[in-house]
Amino acid sequence: MTTREILVVAHAHRADTVAAAARVVTALTAAGAHPVLPGDDDALIDALSATGGFGVLGRDVQIDQIELAIVLGGDGTILRAAEIVRESTAPVLGINMGHVGFLAEIEADDIDDAMRRVIARDYDVEERMALSVRVKDVDGSVIYETWALNEATVEKASRERMMEVVIEIDGRPLSTFGCDGMVVATPTGSTAYNFSAGGPVIWPSVEAIAVVPLSAHALFARPLVVGPEASVAIEVLARTYGTGILWCDGRRSHDLPPGARVVVRRSSRPVRLARLHPASFTDRLVRKFRLPVAGWRGPAGTVMEAE
């Protein structure tokens, strides 16, 4: 019988999260599964050393053996887990230990039920569009490649100087302006940096890419929504007064010299999220952002779905 390898990713510097991770490790072990901890997280390994019974990714277990990643933390920890399992087919199940936790599937109070569902393989897998990101130099050579689940942002590196960019869609120039930066976001990331920058909320069922300027000095610099197969390019003009920096999901960065070209497309590899409940995205928006819905009548007999 093949051992079920379940990755456990947690924010190791919060006592409540470590305690919740210990519950998950204990429950998995008791059910005959093998919990695995990230090999680069010495703090979590040390914090759970008394629990025992777990393996270490990269040492005891390889990434292609992982069945599922259980994540305890906020959206940042979930993005980290998605990065860890990027080269595998393992879905990510988020347990919210943060504030908003938009990517999380359940709250901490539901851990015991979640473990029963995981052991029974009683969950669905939802695929979310990701972005492929390439940086080219002035000669057109690719000097950096990465990916993003939420967004790729091109930002000015110097606070006191703005950057000048040319925006290109599908190989055609759209506009040139000075700005603090640009956000290129997926529907998943539309409730993150894109949302804070004034971009539209995009339902996950809509495959699209949002392009949002940051503090642009221009008459036409509105948020755009383009098709999922569109190619979005941001060129940092050589005459710009400062350098830029590329950030992907707030986790991976690369310096952008004047003349750099950032090309963003849909990635051929989506991110897989494990889902326990079929709650509507509308309900998730209302719950996470605490939107006022008092006075709603709706169809007769309609109730708000619970997550």
List, by residue number, the catalytic residues: 75
Please, are residues 267 and 186 in contact by the beta-carbon 8 Å criterion?
A: no
Question: What are 42's two structure tokens?
Answer: 């010495």
- The secondary structure of 219-263 as a DSSP string is SS---EEE-TT--EEEEE-TT-SS-EEEEETTTEEEEE-TT-EEE
Please, are residues 302 and 160 in contact by the beta-carbon 8 Å criterion?
A: no
Query: What stretches of 120-213 show up as alpha helix (H) in DSSP?
Result: 193-196
How many Å apart are CA 248 and CA 256, to the nearest integer? Answer: 13
Cross-strand partners of 235: 166, 261
How many Å apart are CA 177 and CA 211, to the nearest integer? Answer: 14
**Strands, E assignment, the chain:** 5-10, 34-37, 55-56, 66-73, 92-96, 106-107, 124-128, 131-136, 142-148, 151-156, 163-169, 172-179, 181-185, 209-214, 224-226, 232-236, 244-248, 252-256, 261-266, 271-275
Cross-strand partners of 92: 69, 273
How many Å apart are CA 303 and CA 293, to the nearest integer? Answer: 12
> β-strands 34-37, 92-96: how paired?
unpaired
Using the Cα atoms of residue 190, residue 191, residue 197 and residue 198 in order, give the sign of their dihedral: positive
List Cα–Cα distances, 219 to 196, 215, 238, in angstroms. Answer: 20, 12, 22
List CB contacts of 112: < 8 A, sequence separation 6 or more. 23, 27
